[in-house]
Amino acid sequence: MIGYPTKKGLPKINGSARSANASLNQSRGMGLEDDINESNEYYLETNRACIHKKPTPIQVVRVDYPNRAHAKIVEAYYKVPSTTDYNGVYRGKAIDFEAKETRNKTLFHFKNIHPHQIEHLKRVLYQGGIGFLIIRFTALNETYLVDAAYIIENYENPSLKSLSYAKIKEHGSLIREGLTPRLHYLDNVDEMYFKEE
Amino acid sequence: MIGYPTKKGLPKINGSARSANASLNQSRGMGLEDDINESNEYYLETNRACIHKKPTPIQVVRVDYPNRAHAKIVEAYYKVPSTTDYNGVYRGKAIDFEAKETRNKTLFHFKNIHPHQIEHLKRVLYQGGIGFLIIRFTALNETYLVDAAYIIENYENPSLKSLSYAKIKEHGSLIREGLTPRLHYLDNVDEMYFKEE
């Protein structure tokens, strides 16, 4: 058996101050990605979870070296991501999710999700990980956590091109918003995936 | 309880052919990163695990739009990664690791690991994930899987600046190499982390 480090041994990020300032200086609703990144930083600082956004995949074609210390990329292109944007570890489980915003007030269109993101979430579930989507209806100012299995089931139904707001409200879990963290989404994860424990 | 998709429902990558060709066309020992990427692709195709290399983090400064379809990045810089390079899900557990090569025949120097990678691995272990290093001694043509807790313990010992080859051989697990996958490293993971099940 492996000896895990104790909480005491975990690194301290000189952080509570930093993220509190960030929250005070910035108005809320900076966009879903910012909200999730800030929430993940808070969860990291408080040792509640270890979840990160993956870097955007970029194909580097040409690099210059204007001086010995720095490489300057002068030609590169964005690549289509082959996985979701966020993953990490929480309560012993692998967590994997994608975040999407829509201005639509009545539905979430499936064209917002890449097919390979659906495939990736399938693989995550098959391996026993926890997978979901965080969907924000910007016009309604509501953000939901929706289980990946439910998304996949509907996505693969050829008669459906979208999920209605009503269905998301019924099958998803409304994420509480606040100052720190901006999105209390791990409370929804606790409620949806760890309730029986 | 969430219904997981069955293996039958998993996407097929038109892949066995592709990776077999890749293995035949390329000589072995293309570098540790290539070997791990190819092994992860094989594990993905065979539905054994869902593990990916994270993209290299790049700070994009300036983007041109030579035509409507394509964004061309014309100024960008490499950022220091704040986590390890590889992570994913295997047998219900979160897997997180970093891969390092050394030409040294007698020791693995700790300067090869970034301090924040050690901090990240601590967090992964604290959350109940499986963390390790894959260390290749290129001159010896041997690759070991070494548990993160052992690495951290030694890294934080102020009297140590490195781990000797002998210690890695004793505490690590030698990874079998082959054609497909090039590195059978999940066999070592089974042996080290799932033996009691």
Residue B196, φ and ψ in degrees, nearest 5: -75, -10
For residue A177, give its domain range.
Answer: 26-51+82-193
> What average pLDDT score do residues B101-128 get?
96
Chain B neighbors of A117, CB-CB under 8 A: none
B186 located within any domain: yes
* Mutation target among B1, B4, B64 for the A interface, most CBs of A within 10 A: B4
A73 located within any domain: no
Nearest by CB to B78, from A11, A71, A193: name it.
A71
Strand partners, A167: none
A60 located within any domain: no
The set of long-range contacts for B62-69, using a CB threshold of 8 Å and a minimum separation of 24, is: none
B56: tokens are: 């290299």
A41-78 pLDDT per residue, tens: 999 999 999 999 999 999 999 999 877 678 999 999 99
Do A128 and B57 make contact, defined as CB atoms within 8 angstroms?
no
A116-132 pLDDT per residue, tens: 999 999 999 999 999 99
For chain A, the average pLDDT equals 87
ipTM for the complex? Answer: 0.83
What CATH number has the domain bearing residue A171?
A: 3.40.1350.10
Mapped onto helix, strand or coil, the DSSP state of residue A43 is helix
What pLDDT sits at residue B119? 97
Is residue A50 within 8 A of residue A90, CB to CB? The reply is yes
Q: How many domains does chain A have?
A: 1
What pLDDT sits at residue A28? 42
Among the residue ranges A7-11, A95-99, B4-8, B74-78, the one predicted with the least confidence is: B4-8
Q: How far is B18 from chain A (nearest CA, A)?
A: 17
The set of long-range contacts for A25-28, using a CB threshold of 8 Å and a minimum separation of 24, is: A28/A177, A28/A179, A28/A182
Distance set, CA A71 to CA A74, A103, B59, B114 (Å): 9, 39, 12, 19
Pairing of strands A50-53, B173-174: unpaired
* Mutation target among A12, A14, A45, A50 for the B interface, most CBs of B within 10 A: A50
B45 located within any domain: yes
Question: Considering the entire predicted model, what is its pTM?
Answer: 0.84
- Counting one residue from chain A and one from chain B, the pairs whose CB atoms sit within 8 A come to 165
B181 located within any domain: yes
Nearest by CB to A57, from B55, B82, B125: name it.
B55
- State the pLDDT confidence band at B21, using cuts at 50, 70 and 90: very low
A71 located within any domain: no
Do B75 and A73 make contact, defined as CB atoms within 8 angstroms?
yes
Task: Report H helices in chain A.
Answer: 16-25, 32-45, 115-126, 148-155, 165-171, 185-193
B83: tokens are: 């986590």
Tell me whether A49 touches chain B (CB under 8 Å): yes
